[in-house]
Amino acid sequence: MQRRAFLRSACLNSFAAAGALGALPFPAFASEVAGVRPDAVSVDQLPPLEGDLTLYLGRGEGGLYENVLDAIRKRNPKFNLQVRRGVTAALANTIVAESKAGVRRADVFWAVDSGAIGLVADAGLARPLPADITEELRPGFQYPQWAPVTGRIRTIPYNTERVTRAQIPDSVMALADSDFSIGWAPAYASFQSFVTAMRLLEGEKATADWLRGVNQRAKSYAGELGVVMGVERGEVDIGFANHYYTLRLKAGKPDANVDLAFTKNDAGCLVNASGILALSEGDLPINFIRYLLTREVQSYLAREAYEIPLVNGVQPPQGLPPLSEISPPKLDLTKLADLRPTLNLMRRTGVL
């Protein structure tokens, strides 16, 4: 409840400040885009959406995704969009189970975690995307069967009154042997994806040793907003969290005692992504995906959700360095779907 209340308050305050409560007509936030290169497609360049479409939507971002969907509906009065919401991993498993039963209820799947996308894609259920969609995306985020919508980078939030950025090592693996008190959320899906990336990059033994080492000095929280708030209050020195929790906290509390540090070339600075794929044939699912990759939608999610736009030419959220200045590891994000070995490892090490 704490996380939902915080995000709901942040959204309402942001929209009130912008005079944009309620539906978000595309021209309103299209006119606010600055510094966008011509290769970012505008919603005005897209064909209208007509017909029936069922979207399976993973929960996330305090209602901001629904605001995008409402704006798309308003712009396309002949478009009948039905949305089924749920936990991303559960929806991915439902899609696979429905397929095995000879049933297809979802036309499009929008997941807040790329591991869930990988689960569906590995089952052979995703339609190939046309080249014009993949070419819009930044290098390193171009996949033949799914489109990353926005990115989120793993970070080290730290308390600015207890720690300096220079004290934080460039390697996330080194933190297991540090003297920092650490906040984490082991039951949280983003953290488990982070550990999965570590397992794939560093190996199972090194990851097990890291988990045991951190567990000796870690304080657990229910979610990563709680981690960041705990860091800011001085309950712990540092934490592990996606970048946007810190940026959202600082947007509502500019003098917050928290800032971000980044490791280099390891799971500690993994750029994960929400993503979307088409499950049914026809132009409508593909054209719907195109709407989510427009500069208007991407700019809106960067500005309001502090997520990272992954299409060419859209500015990152304020307070975050551009991806070109960060050194994330090279990793096929769909490999994060292999979560069961991670959960087994976390249980064996006493973390879960």
Binding residue positions: 244-245
> Residue written as tokens 């693996």?
173
Distance, in Å, from the CA atom of 231 to the CA atom of 225, rounded to the nearest integer, reads 10
Distance, in Å, from the CA atom of 249 to the CA atom of 228, rounded to the nearest integer, reads 8
Distance, in Å, from the CA atom of 186 to the CA atom of 218, rounded to the nearest integer, reads 10
Could you tell me the two tokens for 331? 């990793």
User: Coil, strand, or helix at residue 164?
Assistant: coil
Could you tell me the two tokens for 299? 């700019």
User: Left (φ > 0), alpha (ψ -120 to 50) or beta: where does 313 sit?
Assistant: left
Identify whether the C-beta of residue 302 lies closer than 8 Å to the C-beta of residue 30: no
User: Coil, strand, or helix at residue 291?
Assistant: helix
The dihedral sign for the CA sequence 158, 162, 167, 172: negative
Distance, in Å, from the CA atom of 267 to the CA atom of 73, rounded to the nearest integer, reads 38
Amino acid identity of 112? V
- Cα–chain center distance at 75: 26
Binding residue numbers for Fe cation? 244-245
Phi/psi for 68 (5° steps) reads -65, -45
Distance, in Å, from the CA atom of 67 to the CA atom of 69, rounded to the nearest integer, reads 5
In the chain, the largest separation of any two C-alpha atoms, in whole Å, equals 60
Beta bridge partners of 275: 111, 148
